[in-house]
């Protein structure tokens, strides 16, 4: 027996509960997890979309605000450059105009009008009046240019010159002015020389980028982690990590981490693109998404970083709650299933126990009543019915058995009584040496209908008879007892066999309401002479063994007794010689059957008797009985077997 099967048998409750709950809970868990996963990812994508849109709107708002300011910064130098084309105002006038520009534009930190070498006049290699806001308040006019400051080769001058259009510089740190991040907007202006437009110089406007970096820093939608700003070269202009500012570019970060994706994103950013992309973990210390959009005036790019933990804080909380609820539901479901299963299995377990008790013989076991209206209740009901039927059956059986036992014991007693009717003491007349008689009955049932008898009559005569009552059992036995009693009386009264039979017949016919009958073969032996008279009432012919030869004696006429009142019986007479045998028997001998349905037959009887011709009556009877038994083999005895053997030994005895 396998352990699991044993376990199942020992703990059937767990087996059923398991078989119910495992598939149900597994299916429930699968459905729940699928629904949970789907909703989680769906919500996540919604959040991402929202974050992207949110970032876009917030960023674009900031960008347009910044653009307004930048456009405001771009206009005055453009206006001044325009005015310088074709004219050459005196230095004072230029300075006045610069001061005017600064006074009307508070965002502008400083402004210069820088001419080409010898562009203003032929004596001055450098001519670049510059006015900036003094750290102590007010405006400080000065001049740019010198051997250590050849402004023609600086970006703010060269780039607009070579590009032929206004340009913003890369951000730079103004080392003189307290390391403020600055950027310069430069507008080229031209003159006409020999009919050609010739570059004459640039007008610049310097702005501090503090307000810009602050604006970018403030640009943080609720779910965003931080924002940053990169210049046209990808250099960080604003970033919460101060060590990045002006030192690292988005490309150096990408190189540091071997991140080709970030490099592509950076290129997209500085190319003026917009997008919402996923970043690798290192950028924000965790998985993050980046929204980026350009600052068109500067050609720079703003990035808003959404770290996963902020972005998905809501959905993660929801997920946690959902998982908790799901788990709790799961446990509740488990409990419900266990309780339901227990409700089903408890009665079953109980019934199984009761069945074991019933099997053990305790029919008074209480079968539990199941109140529900389901199959288990049906089972319990059937079970109770079965117990009740069993109880009734067993009670009846007990009663029947007791009755049968009583009958059997009575039959046993009846048999012993019946046998006690028959003379069973052998030799019956030890003082008589003229003859020797022996008889035996082998009833087919406990109480048979065969009889034999012998007794002495006056005048030196022996009466002997063998009868066979119709039917078996108790009625036959009683009829046989009546017959035996009447026969003795009739024989005593008449003294002859035919007379005894006639008398017996008449008396049996009286009040024979059961219409039973009997066959009787009888005879009287005058043992002084060996004269023998035989009569037969429908009985088997007797066998005589005379001179070693066995033969049947022809039956004298006579019908069976108890049927026809007044019937007459004939006689057959013989004279026996000493050593001769007369054998009376019932049809249980000749009609005994073997397993093939063959009868023992008269021939076999004759042969058996002939073989024992010289034997004593006991030997002959025993031989016949043995032959019949041997012939019948295993076949059941169907009729009583009665054998009576008389040996005549002559007046002097053997």
Partner 1 sequence: MIRDHGARGWNLHCVFGRPLGLFLLLAVCLLVSPGEALPSPPDAYRATFLPQWLPQAQFAGFYVAQAKGFYKARGIDLTILKGGPDLPAGPALAAGRADFVTLFLAEALKLRDRGLDLVNIAQLVQRSGFILVANRQRGIVRPEDLNGKKVSLWTDFQTQPLAFFRRYGVEVRPVVQGSTVNLFLRGGVDAACAMWYNEYHTILSAGIDENELTVFFFDRHGLNFPEDGIYARRETCLREPELCRRFVAATLEGWEYAFGHPEEALQIVMKAMEEANVMGNRVHQRWMLNRMRDLMGVGDSGTPLGVLRREDYRRVAEELEKNGLIKASPPYGDFHVPLLSRP
- The answer to whether residue 382 forms part of the interface with partner 1 (CB under 8 A) is no
- The answer to whether residue 159 forms part of the interface with partner 1 (CB under 8 A) is yes
Q: Are 473 and 447 in contact (CB under 8 A)?
A: yes
> CA-CA distance, 418 to 640, in Å (whole number)?
13
**Torsions phi, psi of 441, nearest 5?**
-120, 135
> CA-CA distance, 627 to 609, in Å (whole number)?
10
Instruction: Annotate each residue in 206-245 with x if it binds partner 1 (CB under 8 A) or - if it does not, as one string.
Output: --------------------------xxxx----------
> CA-CA distance, 217 to 61, in Å (whole number)?
14
Element housing 189 (H / E): strand 180-193
Touching partner 1, residues 251-270 (CB under 8 A): 251-253, 255-256, 263, 266-267, 270
Nearest Cα to Cα of residue 59 among 269, 346, 253, 347: 269
- For the chain, the distance separating the N- and C-terminal CA atoms, rounded to the nearest angstrom, is 81
Shortest gap between Cβ of 90 and partner 1 (angstroms)? 29
Shortest gap between Cβ of 153 and partner 1 (angstroms)? 4
Shortest gap between Cβ of 70 and partner 1 (angstroms)? 18
Among 213, 227, 248, 555, binds partner 1 (CB under 8 A): 248
**Selected range binding partner 1 among 153-161, 371-379, 422-430, 477-485, rule: CB under 8 A:** 153-161
Closer Cβ to partner 1, 169 or 608, answer by number:
169
Structure tokens, 22: 């495992």
Q: Which residues 6+ apart lie within 8 Å of 629 measured at CB? A: none
Closer Cβ to partner 1, 205 or 269, answer by number:
269
Closer Cβ to partner 1, 216 or 235, answer by number:
235
Shortest gap between Cβ of 213 and partner 1 (angstroms)? 16
3-state secondary structure 319-370: HHHHHHHHHHHHHHHHHHHHHHHHHHHHHHHHHHHHHHHHHCCCCCCCCCCC
Closer Cβ to partner 1, 272 or 428, answer by number:
272
Q: 473-494 vs 497-509: helix axis angle to the nearest 10?
A: 130
Structure tokens, 561: 């007794």
Closer Cβ to partner 1, 102 or 202, answer by number:
202
Structure tokens, 589: 């001998």
> CA-CA distance, 398 to 641, in Å (whole number)?
35
**Selected range binding partner 1 among 64-72, 124-132, 169-177, 531-539, rule: CB under 8 A:** 169-177
Instruction: Annotate each residue in 103-142 with x if it binds partner 1 (CB under 8 A) or - if it does not, as one string.
Output: ----------------------------------------
Shortest gap between Cβ of 18 and partner 1 (angstroms)? 60
Residue 597, CA distances (Å) to 230, 399, 607, 629, 640 in order:
124, 38, 20, 14, 17
Going across the sheet that includes 572-575, the strands are 450-457, 461-469, 518-526, 531-537, 572-575
Touching partner 1, residues 265-294 (CB under 8 A): 266-267, 270
**Selected range binding partner 1 among 162-170, 286-294, 421-429, 442-450, rule: CB under 8 A:** 162-170
Nearest Cα to Cα of residue 365 among 398, 397, 393, 388: 388
> CA-CA distance, 459 to 533, in Å (whole number)?
14
Q: Which residues 6+ apart lie within 8 Å of 587 measured at CB? A: 468, 519, 540, 639
Shortest gap between Cβ of 165 and partner 1 (angstroms)? 10
Shortest gap between Cβ of 239 and partner 1 (angstroms)? 13
Size of the site for partner 1 (CB under 8 A): 31
Closer Cβ to partner 1, 251 or 585, answer by number:
251
Shortest gap between Cβ of 240 and partner 1 (angstroms)? 17
Among 223, 249, 345, 608, binds partner 1 (CB under 8 A): 249
Shortest gap between Cβ of 89 and partner 1 (angstroms)? 28
- The answer to whether residue 199 forms part of the interface with partner 1 (CB under 8 A) is no
Residue 250, CA distances (Å) to 255, 268, 274 in order:
9, 11, 16
Closer Cβ to partner 1, 16 or 154, answer by number:
154
DSSP state of 438: E
Closer Cβ to partner 1, 246 or 561, answer by number:
246
- The answer to whether residue 186 forms part of the interface with partner 1 (CB under 8 A) is no
**Selected range binding partner 1 among 99-107, 149-157, 496-504, 525-533, rule: CB under 8 A:** 149-157
- The answer to whether residue 170 forms part of the interface with partner 1 (CB under 8 A) is yes
Among 59, 97, 169, 519, binds partner 1 (CB under 8 A): 169
Shortest gap between Cβ of 55 and partner 1 (angstroms)? 22
Closer Cβ to partner 1, 253 or 606, answer by number:
253
Helix (H, G, I), strand (E, B) or coil at 378: helix
Strands 581-585 and 641-648: antiparallel
Concatenate the DSSP letters of all residues of 461-516 into one string.
EEEEEEEEESS-HHHHHHHHHHHHHHHHHHHHHH-SHHHHHHHHHHHHHTT-TT--
Shortest gap between Cβ of 181 and partner 1 (angstroms)? 12
Closer Cβ to partner 1, 175 or 194, answer by number:
175
Among 106, 123, 153, 597, binds partner 1 (CB under 8 A): 153
**Selected range binding partner 1 among 6-14, 163-171, 350-358, 376-384, rule: CB under 8 A:** 163-171
The burial class, CB within 10 Å (0-12 / 13-18 / 19+), for 403 is exposed
Among 80, 113, 224, 246, binds partner 1 (CB under 8 A): 246
Closer Cβ to partner 1, 267 or 342, answer by number:
267
**Selected range binding partner 1 among 13-21, 38-46, 158-166, 578-586, rule: CB under 8 A:** 158-166
Residue 468's DSSP bridge partners are: 450, 519
Shortest gap between Cβ of 148 and partner 1 (angstroms)? 8
Binding site for partner 1 (CB under 8 A): 152-155, 158-159, 161-163, 167, 169-170, 173, 232-235, 246-253, 255-256, 263, 266-267, 270
């Amino acid at each position: 027996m396998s352990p699991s099967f044993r376990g199942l048998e020992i703990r059937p409750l767990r087996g059923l509960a398991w078989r119910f709950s495992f598939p149900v809970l597994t299916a429930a868990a699968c459905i729940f997890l699928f629904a949970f996963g789907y909703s989680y990812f769906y919500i996540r994508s919604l959040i991402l979309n929202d974050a992207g849109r949110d970032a876009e709107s917030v960023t674009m708002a900031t960008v347009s605000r910044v653009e307004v300011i930048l456009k405001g910064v771009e206009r005055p130098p453009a206006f001044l450059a325009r005015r310088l084309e074709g004219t050459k105002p005196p230095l004072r006038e230029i300075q006045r105009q610069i001061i005017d520009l600064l006074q009307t534009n508070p965002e502008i930190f400083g402004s210069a009008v820088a001419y080409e070498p010898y562009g203003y006049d032929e004596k001055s290699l450098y001519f670049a009046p510059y006015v900036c806001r003094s750290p102590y308040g007010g405006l400080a006019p000065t001049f740019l240019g010198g051997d250590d400051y050849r402004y023609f080769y600086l970006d703010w001058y060269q780039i607009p010159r070579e590009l032929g259009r206004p340009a913003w510089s890369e951000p730079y740190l103004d080392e003189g002015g307290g390391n403020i991040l600055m950027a310069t907007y430069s507008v080229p202006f031209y003159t006409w020389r020999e009919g050609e437009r010739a570059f004459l110089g640039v007008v610049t406007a310097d702005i501090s980028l503090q307000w810009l970096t602050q604006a970018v820093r403030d640009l943080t939608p609720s779910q965003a982690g931080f924002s940053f700003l990169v210049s046209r070269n990808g250099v960080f202009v604003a970033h919460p990590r101060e060590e990045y500012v002006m030192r690292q570019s988005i490309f150096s970060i990408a190189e540091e981490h071997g991140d080709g994706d970030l490099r592509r994103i950076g290129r997209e950013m500085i190319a003026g693109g917009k997008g919402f992309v996923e970043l690798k973990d290192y950028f924000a210390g965790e998985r993050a998404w980046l929204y980026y959009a350009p600052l068109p005036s500067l050609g720079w790019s703003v990035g808003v970083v959404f770290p996963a933990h902020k972005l998905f804080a809501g959905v993660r909380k929801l997920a946690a709650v959902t998982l908790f609820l799901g788990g709790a539901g799961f446990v509740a479901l488990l409990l419900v299933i266990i309780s339901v299963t227990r409700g089903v299995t408890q009665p079953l377990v109980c019934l199984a126990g009761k069945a074991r008790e019933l099997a053990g013989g305790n029919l008074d076991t209480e079968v539990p009543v199941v109140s529900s209206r389901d199959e288990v209740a049906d089972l319990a009901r059937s079970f109770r019915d079965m117990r009740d039927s069993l109880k009734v059956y067993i009670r009846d059986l007990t009663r029947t058995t007791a009755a049968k036992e009583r009958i059997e014991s009575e039959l046993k007693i009846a048999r012993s009584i019946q046998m006690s009717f028959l003379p069973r003491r052998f030799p019956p007349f030890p003082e008589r040496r003229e003859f020797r008689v022996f008889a035996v009955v082998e009833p087919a049932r406990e109480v048979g209908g065969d009889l034999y008898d012998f007794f002495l009559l006056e005048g030196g005569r022996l009466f002997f008879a063998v009868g066979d009552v119709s039917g078996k059992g108790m009625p036959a036995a009683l009829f046989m007892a009546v017959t035996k009693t009447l026969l003795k009386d009739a024989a005593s009264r008449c003294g002859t066999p035919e007379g005894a039979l006639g008398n017996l017949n008449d008396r049996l016919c009286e009040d024979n309401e059961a219409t039973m009958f009997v066959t009787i073969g009888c005879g009287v032996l005058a043992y002084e002479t060996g004269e023998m008279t035989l009569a037969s009432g429908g009985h088997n012919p007797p066998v005589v063994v005379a001179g070693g030869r066995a033969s049947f004696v022809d039956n004298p006429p006579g019908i069976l007794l108890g049927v026809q009142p007044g019937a007459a019986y004939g006689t057959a007479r013989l004279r026996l010689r000493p050593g001769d045998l007369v054998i009376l028997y019932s049809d249980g001998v000749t009609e005994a059957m073997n397993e093939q349905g063959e009868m023992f037959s008269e021939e076999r009887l004759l042969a058996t008797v002939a073989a024992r011709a010289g034997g004593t009556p006991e030997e002959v009877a025993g031989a016949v009985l043995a032959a019949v038994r041997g012939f019948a083999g295993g076949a059941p005895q169907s009729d009583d077997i009665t054998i009576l053997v008389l040996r005549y030994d002559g007046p002097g005895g053997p």
